[in-house]
Structure 1
Amino acid sequence: MQPHASPNYLAGYPAELTDQIKRMIGQKQLADWLLRKYPYTHSIRSDKALYDYVMTIKSSYLRNAGNINRVAFDKSLHITRNALGIHTSKSQLHGGKLKAKCEIHVATMFKDMPAEFLRMIVVHELAHMKESDHNKAFYKLCCNMEPDYHQLEFDLRAYLTWLDAGGEALWSHRQPPSQVA
C-alpha cells in the first residue's frame, strides 16, 4: 500500500501567493506572521459550547434553514476524511413520518485555533445547509456570514501547509489573559 500524498492546501491560488507562503515557511517566518495576526485561541472547548456557538451564528443568518440536531468536535475527521468540517443530513422513516437529521462535525484541531478560524469553518458548514456545492452562491453566503471568509480560508490553508511541512501547532497554549486559570 502506498502512503497518501500530502494534500496541496494552496491549490488553486495564484503562484505568487503560494510561492510567498512557501518562502515564508522556508525562512521560518510564517509562524510569527500567523501569531501576530491571530495571537490567541478561543474558549470553546465542549460540544455543548460549540453547539451554542453554531446556533448563535445560524440564528443570525439562517433562521429559516432546517434544524441542527447535533454539533460536535470530531477527532477523526481530519485524519480519516481529510476534511476539517462536515455537514450531514439524512432522512429516516419513523412510523410513517419522515424525520430529518442534520449534524455538523468540526475537526478537533479547531479547539486549539483562533476564533476566526473556528468561525470560518462553522460558516462554511452552515452554508452547506443552503448550498450543497462549492459554487458562487455558496461563497456569497459564506461572505455574507463572515466578510473576511476568503482571507480566513487562505490563512488557514497557509497554516495547514505549515503543519504539513513539519511545523509545530501554534496555538495550543495561547489563550487570552482573561481565559488563563
Structure 2
Amino acid sequence: STIKRKKGALDAARGKIFTKIIKEITIAARLGGGDEAANPRLRSAILKAKASNMPANNVERAIAKGTGTLEGVTYEEITYEGYGPCGVAIVVETMTDNKNRTVSEVRYTFNKYGGSLGADGAVAWNFERQGLLTIAQGTLSEDDVLMTLMDAGAENLELEDGEWLIYSQIANLETLRKAAEA
C-alpha cells in the first residue's frame, strides 16, 4: 500500500504539470498555428512537454485542439490588474476556460488579502513585458556569453545559481535562443 500511495501522489503531481503544459500548447497553437517551426511559443511549450516526459500523443492532441481539428475545451488568456496591500501594483495573467469563474476567484483573492481588482490599464503602465532565456553556465565565460548574445538582442545578463539569465524583448527571444544554441 505504500507504493500505491507514493505512485498516486507522483501521478497527481505529474497530472497537474501536464494540464498546465497542455493549456499552454493549446493556446499557442490557436494563436500562432500548429506549425512548430513557424510558432516559437508552440515550440517552447513542446520543449517544456518533452522536459516533463509528456507522451507525444498528448502533445499532438493539444495541438489539434488548438488548431480546431479536434473538439474540446477552449482556453483563453486574460490579464487582470489590481492593487494589493499597501497599494502594491499587481498584474495577474490567467489561462481559463471560464472567464466568469476566473474573475470571481481573482477578485476574491484580492479582497481576501486587502487588495482590490482594478480596471484595465490601471497598473499595466508600471510593467514591461520581457523575454527570459536561461542557459547553464557550463564552461562559458562572461565575455563569450556577452559578445554572442548582446549582438543577438540581449538587453541584460545575470549569473544566478550556475545559470545565465538573459533578458530581452519578446520579439528577439527566438533569435536569442538560436544564437545561444550555436
TM-score computed with the length of structure 1 as normaliser: 0.21
Structure holding more helix per residue: 2
Q: Looking at CA atoms only, which structure, 1 or 2, has the larger radius of gyration?
A: 2
TM-score computed with the length of structure 2 as normaliser: 0.21
Structure holding more strand per residue: 2
